[in-house]
Amino acid sequence: MGYCALLLSCFAAHLSAQELQPRAYIPAPEGLNYFGISYSHNAGGLLFDPSLPVTGSTFSANIVTLAFGQTLGVLGRTTQILTILPYVEGNGNGFLSDAQQHIYRSGLGDATFRYAMNIYGAPAMHREEFAAYRQKIIVGASITMSIPSGQYDANRLLNIGANRWGFKPELGVSRAFGKSTLEGAAGVWMYTSNSQFNGHNLRTQGPMGSLQAHFVRILPHRCWLASDWTYYTGGRTQVDGSDKSDYLGNARWGATLGISLTARQAIKVTYFDGFISRVGADSQSIGISYNLIWLKGR
């Protein structure tokens, strides 16, 4: 497998409570460095926080993301580290406390860090060993951390940043069948409290569980196509101890296409849509990313 196939196989591009990320646990050789830049356009219901008391909302957001990553060998296993830095521009209209409002936000979003290790089926490999590797069953585990580095103003109800930490442990499984792969992952987001919500109110949020499933097919010319599905539930909030009616039970589907450009460069096109929304309106997202890889010392 050449550089191009490696590029199209590894690293996440977007991490959130509603992520759809195929091939998240595919291994790569030690010392692989990664840089990615992506753009996505999102439109539909409340995109910043569906638990907020905004009704009749229509929002759109443009998100540009930078990603930096590397593969390592830790305890003899394939390991990936990844940092995500987003910038968000969004605007929309909705009713807040029965009054129509126009909202515009622009600024840095919360940074995300992910550490993933394949614990079965993918030992740490150098480039030559990886060239002879053939996937069967892979079991991986990861921890994702959301850092409160985004734009936040305590006097605003709607913000780009969340002003809190988030942690998501996850377990994933990938099984290859020739040119096709079935994948699944289960995780749960856990959050710290925000003591500056809409002034100096205390806002807490319960754990939010998520499930993902993907069917991936290798195409000619070292490209691939994935059909994606996710379901997330939980996440009820409290403000100063009072429960909010915002328990989530939503699902999304989508498709991802990876396309080779050169031996070390590729693009990825994504489309996601909501089809079950217990809280919050449906939203759609379309995006494209450019990715570049290189081996350490090369």
Which tens digit of pLDDT belongs to each residue from 108-136? Answer: 999 999 999 999 998 999 888 888 888 89
Domains belonging to the chain, first-starting first, are 3-92+99-295 (2.40.128.130)
The predicted model gives 123-152 an average pLDDT of 92
Q: What is the pLDDT of residue 203?
A: 92
Residues with Cβ < 8 Å from 110, sequence gap 6 or more?
A: 86, 146, 147, 148, 149, 150, 161, 162, 166
Predicted local confidence at residue 96, as pLDDT: 64
- Partner residues linked to 212 by β-bridges: 185, 230
Neighbours of 2 (CB within 10 A): 11
Q: How many helices (H) does the chain have, and how many strands (E)?
A: 2, 17
pLDDT tops 70 at residue 10 = no
CA contacts within 13 A on the Cβ side of 119: 10
**Residues 85-112: b if buried by 16+ CB within 10 A, e if exposed:** ebbbebebebebeeeeeebebebebbbb
- Name beta bridge partners: 54: 96
**What span, in angstroms and rounded, lies between the C-alpha atoms of 284 and 287?**
10
Q: How confident is the model at residue 156 (pLDDT cuts 50, 70, 90)?
A: confident
- Tens digits of residue pLDDT in 211-258: 999 999 999 988 999 999 999 899 888 999 988 877 788 888 999 999
**pTM summary value:** 0.88
pLDDT digits (tens, 9 = 90+) for 43-71: 876 555 555 555 556 778 899 999 999 99
